[in-house]
Each structure stands twice: as structure tokens, then as C-alpha cells.
Amino acid sequence: MTTRRWIADEATGNTAALTGDHAQHLARVLRAEIGQQFDIATGTSVRRGVITAINDDRVEFTLGEEQPITPAPDLTLALAIFKFDRMEWAIEKCTELGVTRIVPIIARRTDTHLSTAAPKRRERWQRLALQASEQSRRLAPPEIAAPTRLKDLGTASALPAVRPPSPAEAPEVKIVLAESENDLHLREALTARPAALTLAIGPEGGWAPDELQWFHDNNWTAASLGDTILRAETAAIVATALALDALR
């Protein structure tokens, strides 16, 4: 039977803890008991944890043996902001699939009220990503960056430096999904196994012409998901699944 995994809020040496709402869910909803065992992800490893103390807003563990883990591919999703209910669904599902980080993009066709409200939604997006990460037994939740405008996407704060490629890997690849791209399918653009991959998914209505020109000028490869026009959240999930399959 698969052991449930929790991502620790605190971890030091051979101890770890869940705190706040995170702990309350385990203590009150799941009625945890002292002595119960779970897998605890500390950000760098997964270890078997035994509950040693339970309070209303804190559950403490003693950590034992390490559990085997599989290194995750490095995939960044630059996701143009669209209707929050659909965007949250995309964040949740792309987290379950294994995306490394999500950068919300304020695009030209992002509704003004959504771009204004987006910074206040970041904490909720992070919480959703944490829940989805534990459900899918990830080592850590994806980083949810602060909403940024497209022209700032290439800055270090928006896209952190990736690890150097190994001899078997191609350098970092950046791909923008564009409905107007008729010659190159995403599968074809992923023939080489890159050290890291960034995918840019446009908003409802797609990228504006000047944004596509910006991608071209900044050495992004344009590709499509085929002849059908997908909703933004569907495109994000399909593209993430295809990309992770190519990276593994």
C-alpha cells in the first residue's frame, strides 16, 4: 500500500513539522494519532516520518530512513493569466503532472481586472500547488512566481538560472505555443532532450502579434498543438504532458 506523503513546513536534522492549516487538516480532518507513519518530503529528500506530537496547529515527526525518489525534469510554464477558476484548474493539474515552476504572465489580452487582482491570488495558487503536490507525491511544490509582464519574462527574477546541461542533454529550450504556427508541432520541437524547458501558453484569444514578435526576437521557438484550437487551460495541460514525456 502506498504511504501518504506530506511536504514539511519545517525540517531540521531528523525532525520535521507541519504547521498552521496544513497541520490542522492532518490532526482534525484525518484524525492523526501519535505513532502513525507517513512519508515526509523535506525539499531535498523523502524520509519515513513517525508522528511524535500533535497540537491544533502543529504536528511533529521524527524522521527515519530515506525513501527512493526519481529526479524531476526541469520544466517552467509561463502561463498567461486568464479566468481564475480555469487557471487554478490548470495550475493544479500541471502541478500533478510535474511542472517545476509556473510564471503567471500579464499578456496584452489579459483582462484588466484579472491582471490587477492576480498578485493577490498568488498565495491561493501556492496553496493549491502544495495540495496538488502532496496528492501526487511530489518532493516539493512548484515555485509560483509573482505575476510579471511579458517583457520582463527573461529577467533573472522571473526565470531563474537553470543547471548546466549534462553531455547527454541539449541546452535550455524555450517554446511559445502559437495558433498561427502551421509548420512545427510541439512534438517535433522536442526531439532533443534539453537540460531545461520553458513553455509559454497564451491567454484566451491567444498572443497578440507584437507579443509573438517579442518571442521571435528573443529566440523562442514557435510551435502548435495541432489544427484544433484549445482552451488555455487545456493547452497548458496537454503541452505540459507532452513536454514532460519528452524530458524523461
Q: Does residue 113 sit in the same domain as residue 195?
A: yes
Select from 17, 46, 66 the last residue of a domain.
66
In which domain, by residue range, is 151 found? 75-247
The separation between CA 141 and the C-alpha centre of its own chain, rounded to angstroms, equals 7
pLDDT at 157 over 50: no
Q: Does residue 31 sit in the same domain as residue 107?
A: no
Q: Does residue 88 sit in the same domain as residue 149?
A: yes
Q: Does residue 79 sit in the same domain as residue 113?
A: yes
Which of 21-30, 40-49, 108-117, 151-160 is predicted least confidently? Answer: 151-160
**Percentage of the chain with pLDDT > 90?**
65
**Percentage of the chain with pLDDT > 70?**
92
Q: Does residue 115 sit in the same domain as residue 225?
A: yes
Q: Does residue 83 sit in the same domain as residue 52?
A: no
Spatial distance between the Cα atoms of 231 and 202, rounded to a whole number of angstroms:
10
Give 72's contacts (C-beta < 8 A, 6+ positions apart).
98, 100, 138, 139
Select from 66, 90, 111 the last residue of a domain.
66
Q: Does residue 21 sit in the same domain as residue 100?
A: no
pLDDT (0 to 100) of residue 70: 79
Give strand pairing partners of 62: 15, 50
Q: Which CATH number does the domain housing residue 49 bear?
A: 2.40.240.20
Q: Does residue 122 sit in the same domain as residue 22?
A: no
User: Averaged over 214-231, what is the pLDDT?
Assistant: 92
Q: Does residue 225 sit in the same domain as residue 111?
A: yes
- The count of structural domains within the chain is 2
Spatial distance between the Cα atoms of 100 and 102, rounded to a whole number of angstroms:
7
Residue type, 47: R
With b for 16 or more beta-carbon neighbours within 10 A and e for fewer, the 199-214 pattern comes to bbbbbbebbeeebbeb
Grid cell locating 201: 501558453
| pTM of the predicted protein model | 0.83
Q: Does residue 11 sit in the same domain as residue 96?
A: no
pLDDT at 155 over 70: no
Q: Does residue 136 sit in the same domain as residue 192?
A: yes
Q: Does residue 144 sit in the same domain as residue 125?
A: yes
Spatial distance between the Cα atoms of 142 and 31, rounded to a whole number of angstroms:
28
Q: When comparing pLDDT for 179 and 159, which is higher? A: 179
> pLDDT band for position 163 (50/70/90)?
very low
pLDDT (0 to 100) of residue 161: 46
Q: Which CATH number does the domain housing residue 115 bear?
A: 3.40.1280.10
pLDDT (0 to 100) of residue 214: 95
User: Averaged over 205-225, what is the pLDDT?
Assistant: 93
